[in-house]
A and B are shown apart, each in its own frame.
Chain A
Amino acid sequence: MRYSIKNIINLRGIYAILWRELITFFRETPRFISSIVSPIIWLFIFGSGLGSSVVIGEIEYQKFIFAGILTQTFLFTSIFYGVYLVWDRRIDLLKSILVSPLSRTTIFLGKLLGGVTISLIESIIVLLLGLLIGIHYTPFTFFAAIVIVILASAIFTAIGLTIGSILDSPEGFQLLSTFILFPLFFLSGALFPLENLPQWLDIITAINPVSYVVDILRGVLIGINHISIVSSFSLILIFLIITSIIGVESFKRMRA
């Protein structure tokens, strides 16, 4: 038997999965609306509320948390995208996909692109909202932010899909968000600077991929970053490779 890359990665198959993900996303209107409204609330209510009494360095608080809110938008969308895999299993649609000749790698890549595309759409809306609070873009910074959003949401989508491939019930995702997602988000520097944290939290911050994403985005958008952009970018690529490999492997073991 001959093995070729075409058997493992089937572009038409990837397109098929992606196409279906996007149709269902736009048909489930509540899903779309809530993903847009939540960053608006954070940015304008939380940001300007807390911003009225807090200034970080020379920067208005609203601008400081902008990169954090952007990250929050695609972080939550990407991770929770995995819940739709659990739904696919519940409604038995997954069975009909797994019984098709598509390889598990193809199915994973199709799903991954679906999650990334949805995260990207939402992130672009948030980026445009940034104009309202005085974030200035050059074509380069806008483009750079988009590249980072794509890579970072691929990391988190891969994590979400890995979890979704294991869980049987959507409720499991609630636990996950309480015990993993919120800590990672709050310890990422998204909402406050990390300089004065107690030392034991430093370790979590250092191994937390969200920290690097927030830092590099803040660097690109308002010029404040603690880690060099090249290091953050390289780490993001490494995280992406690792999470994708784990994702593909977990898809290969996934039961219908």
Chain B
Amino acid sequence: MSALIKMNDLTKIFMSGRHEIIAVDKLNLAIEEGEVYGFLGPNGAGKTTTIKMLSTLLEPTAGSAQVNGYDIIKQPSKVRESIGIVFQDPSSDELLTGYENLKLSALMYNVRPADVEKRIDFAFELVELTERKDDLVKTYSGGMRRRLEIARALLHKPKILFLDEPTLGLDPRGRETIWKYIERLRNEYQMTILLTTHYMEEADTFADRICIIDHGRAVAIDTPEKLKRRVGGDIITIVADSPRVDKIKNLKWVKKIERKNGKLLVMVDNAAAHIQALLNKIGKVECVEVRRPTLDDVFIKFTGRRLEEEQAEGGFFEKVIMVQSRQS
């Protein structure tokens, strides 16, 4: 395995009046061939800015990066040939049909004339839009547009696929469909995928490795499993009138005890094996909850804040509505 994307102190600073805003702060990441790499972080963490720099849409303020062996500053068109990208906001032309959008892309990416139709058919089949391919994109739902744009990103057989918040603004069924395609691309085509998300569940399920990014900095990089292990074990939440904390605090499998909102949070190794022993010692309890750590716990550990499930910058549907007003 070799690194297909390599960042060296990649930095982006925006000026806002007289203030400097450091959007991306000296990222040094390496993304290996064939892996699904997730950027997880809240809005404004620098995920999209990083993708924009890697896809040559934005010049870094400092540092550099190589994509598929090409320098993003010195060889931008080679970089662009190597990547497919699905932007956070819809970027297809809604006055064209789905087919015409893909054809436009095939021409722009210089797909061999003999292959154009084959590739378009294949892409439509992959995202299950064959039946709608001759309809104008303005009649598509948000989810269909996202699928069309995934198809478009794959036409020129890129080595790397960038997905910027691929499920943002979609309903649960729409999200599931997108996930299914991502799975297929990874399993059947061994595609290298860099995806940004602020849905933990998504990062947890799909990413081989996750980079937690906050204020433009990479605060932790690892597989989801290992990241969760770093939280310090399983979490047992206990509600009780007078728990005997003194009896459990010296047990060697108890890692940490916290009081929060009248509840007792006990972090333990392997909760399943020790829950009975714990309950015996602690006395009468009203209520017990056992759970494995989530990436949210990981995020809290590294940043001290919760990763909120709010909408990311520039919601997809807001954009669709704005775009439709062009027609009137």
Contact = CB atoms under 8 A, between A and B. Distances in A.
**How many of chain A's residues touch chain B, expressed as a range?**
20 to 34
Interface string A1-21: 100000100101101110110
Contact of B55 (A12, A27, A99): A99
Interface of B: 52, 55-58, 75, 77-78, 80-81, 83, 85, 87, 89-96, 100, 104-105, 107-110, 152, 319, 322-323, 326
A53 interface: no
A91 B85 contact: no
Given A1-B75, A91-B93, A93-B91, A100 B57 contact: no
A87 B107 contact: no
A146 B322 CA distance: 39
Given A23-B96, A101-B80, A95 B87 contact: yes
B255 to A, nearest CB: 47
Contacts of B83: 99
A10 to B, nearest CB: 7
Q: Please provide the 10 A-B residue pairs with the shortest distance between their CB atoms, ordered closest to farther.
A: A16-B107, A92-B91, A100-B108, A96-B91, A24-B95, A101-B80, A101-B77, A101-B81, A91-B323, A92-B89
Contact of A87 (B92, B152, B326): B326
A242 to B, nearest CB: 27
A94 to B, nearest CB: 8
Contacts of B91: 91-93, 95-96
A12 B108 CA distance: 7
B77 A103 contact: yes
A100 B105 contact: yes
A161 to B, nearest CB: 18
Contacts of A96: 85, 87, 91-92, 105, 152
B151 to A, nearest CB: 13
Nearest to A256: B57
Contacts of B87: 92, 95-96
B54 to A, nearest CB: 11
Nearest to B83: A99
25 contacts: A1-B75, A13-B110, A15-B107, A20-B93, A20-B96, A20-B100, A24-B93, A27-B95, A87-B326, A91-B93, A91-B323, A91-B326, A92-B91, A92-B319, A93-B92, A93-B93, A96-B91, A96-B152, A99-B57, A101-B80, A101-B81, A101-B108, A101-B110, A102-B108, A255-B58
Contacts of A1: 75
Nearest to B90: A92
B108 A16 contact: yes
A23 B107 contact: no
